[in-house]
Amino acid sequence: MVETNKGITGYGYGGPGASFVVERHLPKLLLGEDPFQVERLWDIMWRGTVYYGRKGLVVHALSAVDNALWDIIGKALKLPVYELLGGTTRNRVPTYCTGNNMEQAVEFGFKKIKLALPHGPADGEEGLDKNEALVERARQLLGSDGQIMLDCWMALTVPYAEKLAARLKPYRVYWMEECLMPDDYTGMGELNARVNSTHMATGEHESTRFGFELLAKHKAADIWQPDMNWCGGLTELRWIDALARAHNTPVIPHGGWRGGAAHFVFANENTPWCEMFLPWPGGPKEVYDRFEEENGITRGPEGIYMRPSDRPGFGFETSEPV
């Protein structure tokens, strides 16, 4: 939360561990500054924290404050953030659903599903069989036209990922995500060069344009997935996207509908899809109705679509404490 002397309060989401830096360091750098100067203020925060930051919780904190500044600007100008980014040429964005509750997602209307890969190298051939069975089930539910993606959560090796991709080739997996640890740029480059049956995606745990320059240098992925609340905020996400465009690489942000990131997705022609999670199954109908209302859910040829709020800023609605 960033307050101004004009009576406008901006809200921005960051990542885990950010609160200490947000409360104890960044105010000293920003007090008395103009919130409209987002590039300048980002540089001040970056240079002021780089000696103990550069990645992780410090950049999570920087992200939160940067996003709050964009929220302030939108509120001051009475414009949604996507209008600040240049507007949009589309009225909704195709989405995919992350989660292994496949039946729930398909019933809701999703035609694109990303699965959490449950087994890795330690599980041997039996684990490979179970991974294949999961993907086979998804293909049966989605039919021939649906899209399947896999989130491997940094748990694989190059040989295992290569073997898994070959095993899953008949099911036409669209991408395999985060197969390796985020600093293994060489390994990611090798894997991307060897596998041609699916796309390689990564970037959720990468920070700033400097990290993504390394992904580009090593040709580590076909799709970049920065998280707006972790990578340095909306200001930095724009630089990452510019770098991606220079390398003809699409950007599909991690958690693309959360924390205001939907505004970036909506305004950007280089972001073809938006990631979403459904509320857990078994809840009251009101939960799912509100989910649809808050995310501008509609249905069409590609399944589920979303669009961000038209309210000023990121459109967050808050309740004053009683």
Active site residues: 254
Give start and end residues of each alpha helix (H) in 168-227.
185-194, 208-217
Q: Are 102 and 141 in contact (CB under 8 A)?
A: yes
Residues forming a β-bridge with 10 = 2
Orientation of helix 208-217 relative to helix 233-246, angle to 10°: 20
Residue 113 backbone dihedrals phi, psi, to 5 degrees: -135, 135
Residues forming a β-bridge with 116 = 151
DSSP H or E segment with residue 133: helix 124-142
DSSP H or E segment with residue 292: helix 285-294
| Per-position DSSP letters for 22-52, written without gaps between them | HHHTHHHHHTT--TT-HHHHHHHHHHHHTTT
